[in-house]
Amino acid sequence: IFIAEEMIQSHAKISLQQHCLYYLLRNAIAGKTQWKSGEEAHNFAADCSLLFSLAAQSSAAEYEQAELIFKTCVNNKLLATTTFVATEAINLQQTSAMFMHLAKMRPVLKEAVLSTTLAMILRDKKITPAEKMLIKTLCTSFDCPLPLEMT
């Protein structure tokens, strides 16, 4: 895992696939993160904002198009407090923390988050390797099977 961190940090900019691979590798080696029993409830809005922004920007050629995809797809009341974030502002620590936080969501929220992320990715009817990796990582985090659309 330290080798992966060194490789990622040696590049000025890392890809979505590198973010996802790092999270999957870290979880495979260290196991699922154990949360303290007294830990307060987490506000998932920032984590959903990061995830949806990554999904929207991975399926759009331009920033404005990504923001439009984000606004169009995030129409669920449960997810209404999310805001669009440019991928340049997202780093490895934020992405890793995002997946760990999202893993703690209640099942009804996980379903809403997964379906919104899928809607963004499938909007153009093409699935890139980065998008597939994002969904695989999210499903691993949620401890759920891959959606049929991704198999």
Q: Which amino acid is at 98?
A: M
Q: Which residue has the tokens 């979505």?
A: 16
Q: Is the whole-model pTM more than 0.85?
A: no
Per-residue pLDDT tens for 2-43?
Answer: 555 565 566 556 676 766 776 666 666 555 544 443 334 457
Distance CA 141, CA 137 (A): 6
**pLDDT-derived band at 116, boundaries 50, 70, 90:** confident
129-142 and 107-122 helices cross at what angle (nearest 10)? Answer: 170
Backbone angles phi, psi at 66, to 5 degrees: -65, -40
Other beta carbons within 10 angstroms of residue 116's beta carbon come to 22
How many angstroms separate the first and last alpha carbons of the chain?
Answer: 28
Of 98 and 72, the one with more pLDDT: 98
